[in-house]
Structure 1
Amino acid sequence: MPGQPRYLWLADQLRTPILNGELTPGTRLPSRSRLARSYEVSEQVSRHALRLLVSEGLVEARPGSGYYVRSVPQIHRFSRTDRSSGSGVEPLYRRDIDTVTEKACDLVSRRLAIRDGDAVYRTRCLGLTDGVPVALHTAWEPMLLTHGTLRTPADAEPGTSVLDRLGAAGVIIDRVVEEVGVRPLREPEASMLQLAAGLPVLVVERTHYNGQRPVETSDLVGSVDHCRLLYRLSLARTPRKGR
């Protein structure tokens, strides 16, 4: 291991049997002092190596008990295509939280191209698996689009897509812009997802447009351990010359 920090070398010795299945989920790893003796390193080195594996999600620290190989989490894939608008928390079980009216704050007003303080509908729902929340979907829509009709988010039948609902109100969605990133989990998101604030989460900012006008914007916030985005995009084929 010339030139390599010793804690990285030790982490490699533990990572390999975890990844190839020799150390199965739930296996208790040797203590820091035992690792130090077995691999002839200091306890500081073994501590740094274990912390690295914890940060990689391969090992979990249980206070008062030790370090254990983490179970492989169940992965849920959210399908995104260029032919439909897959919004919400599908394929998870959906639990509606609320639909309320509120004044648009700076962030929402910029995304919807409206003024600060304009009225919007805010809709929230959770995506659950085995009763455990793993994703939170929050959507905002200018109130003036559907107010006074039966096409508001509060009036929508369960499972109705935003495309169908707004289309029935005469607002045709013809473009979607989606931005994906990772950020720290905020309150009250943390309380609803039963996770600690500050943990990194997957965030999908999605905005639906009618021409150049944004008509609905949403955040899908999901556990990085459980959520993935699956993209299926069609490619235009260029005709070959001579055909």
Structure 2
Amino acid sequence: MGRPRYLRVADALRVPILDGALPPGARLPSRAQLARRHEVSEQVSRNALRLLIAEGLVESRPGSGYYVREVPESYRFARTDRFSGSLLRPLAGEDRDTITRPACDRMAERLGIGEGEPLYRTRCVGTAGGAPVAVHTSWEPAVLTHNTTRAPGDADAETGVLERLAAAGVVIDRVVEEVAVLPLTEPEAVLLRLAPGAPVLVVERTHYSGQRPVETSDLVAVVERCRLSYRLSLARTPAGGGPRPDPHR
């Protein structure tokens, strides 16, 4: 059995889009023109165009037609085994605020503290071209830096959490990170100017001092605008192969 006809029509458009023969901004044939050219119904050509829209290659402009979509610039967020700088550093227009609030049950569980204990919540919004593309929200127990000059609201925005908490006597020695694509929730939807439920990239990261979680954060980013760039250190294998000797034995 052959491939569905709408996939063949989509292929005929996708190839010149990807190889540059149809550059960003180029106007595509109408549904009727595609139907005649490929000897299919307009419903088939409509489904082909819908598929290319879903793939992010084509956009529909009401009253004008279909066009090859401009490829937005992607921003890379460095994720390294010792990364401690601003998570929104690649982006301009960073808007940062810190408030104190009681821990909800979710944050209490993530930080291993009692529900209702005071937290510092810091939120940053990163923009590109005047449009918000990422929101970073972090939480940490206020008891760690309360009445010091090392609280999140007192520190310079460029000072990373590792350096800031180390100056307060809290040494971070482990980081756990999970990445997922999840539906956008209402609070971040307002900040990103997107509809709730839209798919977004979510990075949940927690810093530990020994077995104690001392800071946790969520990076919520527009999927098509942001990428994660990982650089992790690996233990070297001695020349000649074989396992490395255990220095503790």
TM range (shorter): over 0.9
Within a 5 Å distance, the mapping from 1:93-104 to structure 2 comes to 93-104=92-103
Deviation at 1:86, TM superposition (A): 4.5
Alignment deviations for residues 87-132 of structure 1 (CA, whole Å, 9 cap, x no partner): 5212212523321111222222221112222211110011122322
Give distance in 1, aligned partners of 2:151 and 2:116.
19
Alignment deviations for residues 180-207 of structure 1 (CA, whole Å, 9 cap, x no partner): 1111222221221122222211111111
**Match of residue 142 from structure 1:** 141
Query: What TM-score results when the alignment is normalised by the length of structure 2?
Result: 0.92
Unmatched tracts of structure 1, length 5 or more:
none
Query: What TM-score results when the alignment is normalised by the length of structure 1?
Result: 0.94
**Match of residue 121 from structure 2:** 122
Give distance in 1, aligned partners of 2:65 and 2:109.
48
**Match of residue 191 from structure 2:** 192
Is the contact between residue 136 and residue 221 of structure 1 (CA under 8 Å) also seen in structure 2? yes
Aligned residues: 242
Give distance in 2, aligned partners of 1:68 and 1:14.
11
**Counterpart amino acid of residue 220 in structure 2:** V
Is the contact between residue 85 and residue 176 of structure 1 (CA under 8 Å) also seen in structure 2? no
Is the contact between residue 123 and residue 137 of structure 2 (CA under 8 Å) also seen in structure 1? yes
Give distance in 2, aligned partners of 1:39 and 1:242.
59
**Counterpart amino acid of residue 111 in structure 1:** R
**Match of residue 51 from structure 1:** 50
Deviation at 1:6, TM superposition (A): 1.0
**Counterpart amino acid of residue 201 in structure 1:** V
- Asked if residue 177 in structure 1 is aligned to residue 159 in structure 2, the reply is no
Change (3 A) 1:114 1:242: closer
**Match of residue 162 from structure 1:** 161
Percent sequence identity is: 67
Give distance in 1, aligned partners of 2:191 and 2:111.
25
**Match of residue 152 from structure 1:** 151
Give distance in 2, aligned partners of 1:129 and 1:175.
31
**Counterpart amino acid of residue 36 in structure 1:** A
SS of alignment partner, residue 213 of structure 2: strand
**Counterpart amino acid of residue 156 in structure 1:** A
| 194-203 vs 88-97, greater mean Cα deviation | 88-97
SS of alignment partner, residue 138 of structure 2: strand
- Asked if residue 222 in structure 1 is aligned to residue 226 in structure 2, the reply is no
- Asked if residue 6 in structure 1 is aligned to residue 10 in structure 2, the reply is no
Alignment deviations for residues 148-188 of structure 1 (CA, whole Å, 9 cap, x no partner): 22211111123111111111111111111111111122222
RMSD: 1.7
Give distance in 1, aligned partners of 2:27 and 2:71.
15
**Match of residue 247 from structure 2:** none
Change (3 A) 1:160 1:242: closer
Deviation at 1:236, TM superposition (A): 1.3
Is the contact between residue 88 and residue 94 of structure 2 (CA under 8 Å) also seen in structure 1? no
